């Protein structure tokens, strides 16, 4: 667990709220120990997990080998954002930039793949590059900070490895060598252009402030590119044409589609979850409780006497 203090804080609030002891339990530990036990436990009948696809597959396999417990998975993403010529370019630049710096890019629905129509690509890239370069990194507790460090050394090194691989196949438009500061592992905002669609950095979740910007000619081409991934968590479309927006929303293989907005924009009262390897099931205020309930039919035969 990389964020144990969050759960520890929740535990203190649960106690203050007056919950009876044992109703809610917080277990801190590593997945291969505590998580493995829970996944195989015969008395646990529901598991909800948020994390990587690799771990999600392990949990689902463990559930199948134990008691076929219900598993709800919210996993990774490689979320596309599509910019059409009639879009509000300035708005698209600011919102896509924020999507990639929010939580230092460590967000499953960050729009790490941006597809820009070739007629406006030069203008969009120029604005995005300038905006991304101006991101202020530093202490995440300070109100002036826009981007903090990565979660740990493992994540930092993994992002660095993806950047080095992307340099071999794509065009680096913005970025510097990741630096191991005394106060954290910082990865500068990084942009790649013209990265081949089948390259590993375009296919796999980097989970950091690294964005790939490619171009497209028409709807058919960009839909094929956007859907050519094992993930399907969040997609975004920027256009003033509502008919085009609805066409794209229908064709995109994604659990959520933002029109003229992008992640982390969401609605708590709407189901959230992914297609394909991005997860199983849905979460949200109106649906989460259903994950922990069973449907039962009761048939009663009443005698005539």
Catalytic residues: 74, 108
Residue with the two structure tokens 């909800």: 48
Cα torsion at 242, 274, 93, 98 (round to 10°)? 140
* Nearest alpha-carbon partner for 85 in 131, 111, 118: 118
Token pair belonging to 98: 């924020």
Question: On the CB side of 219, how many CA atoms lie within 13 Å of its CA?
Answer: 14
**DSSP string of 256-267, one letter each residue:** EEEES--TT---
Token pair belonging to 173: 């438009």
| Residue 278 dihedral angles phi and psi, to the nearest 5° | -85, -5
Identify whether the C-beta of residue 163 lies closer than 8 Å to the C-beta of residue 186: no
Identify whether the C-beta of residue 237 lies closer than 8 Å to the C-beta of residue 115: no
Ramachandran category for residue 138: left, alpha or beta (phi over 0 → left; psi -120 to 50 → alpha) = left
Token pair belonging to 7: 């759960």
Helical H runs in the chain?
4-17, 36-40, 53-65, 89-101, 121-133, 153-169, 200-203, 219-227, 242-251
Q: Count other C-beta atoms under 10 Å from residue 233's C-beta.
A: 28
Identify whether the C-beta of residue 129 lies closer than 8 Å to the C-beta of residue 160: no
């Amino acid at each position: 667990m990389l964020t144990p203090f969050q759960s520890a804080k929740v535990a203190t609030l649960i106690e203050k709220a007056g919950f009876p002891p044992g109703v809610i339990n917080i277990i801190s530990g590593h997945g291969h120990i505590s998580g493995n036990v829970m996944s195989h436990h015969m008395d646990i009948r529901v598991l909800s997990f948020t994390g990587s696809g690799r771990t999600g597959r392990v949990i689902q396999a463990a559930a199948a080998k134990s008691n076929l417990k219900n598993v709800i998975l919210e996993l990774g993403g490689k979320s596309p954002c599509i910019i059409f010529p009639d879009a509000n370019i300035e708005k698209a630049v600011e919102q896509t930039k924020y999507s990639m710096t929010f939580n230092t890019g460590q967000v499953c629905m960050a729009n790490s793949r941006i597809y820009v129509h070739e007629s406006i690509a030069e203008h969009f890239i120029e604005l995005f590059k300038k905006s991304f370069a101006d991101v202020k990194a530093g202490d995440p507790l300070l109100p002036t900070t826009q981007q903090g460090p990565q979660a740990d050394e493992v994540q930092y090194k993994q992002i660095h490895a993806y950047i080095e691989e992307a340099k071999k196949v794509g065009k680096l438009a913005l970025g510097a060598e990741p630096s191991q500061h005394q106060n954290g592992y910082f990865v500068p905002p990084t942009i790649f252009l013209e990265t081949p669609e089948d390259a590993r950095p375009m296919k796999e979740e980097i989970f950091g402030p690294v964005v790939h910007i490619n171009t497209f000619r028409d709807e058919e081409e960009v839909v094929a590119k956007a859907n050519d991934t094992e993930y399907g968590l969040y997609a975004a479309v920027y256009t003033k044409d509502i008919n085009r927006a609805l066409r794209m929303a229908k064709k995109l293989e994604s659990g959520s589609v933002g029109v003229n907005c992008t992640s982390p924009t969401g609605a708590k009262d709407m189901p959230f979850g992914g297609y394909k390897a991005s997860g199983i099931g849905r979460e949200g205020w109106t649906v989460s409780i259903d994950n922990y309930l069973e449907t039962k039919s009761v048939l009663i035969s009443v005698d005539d006497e």
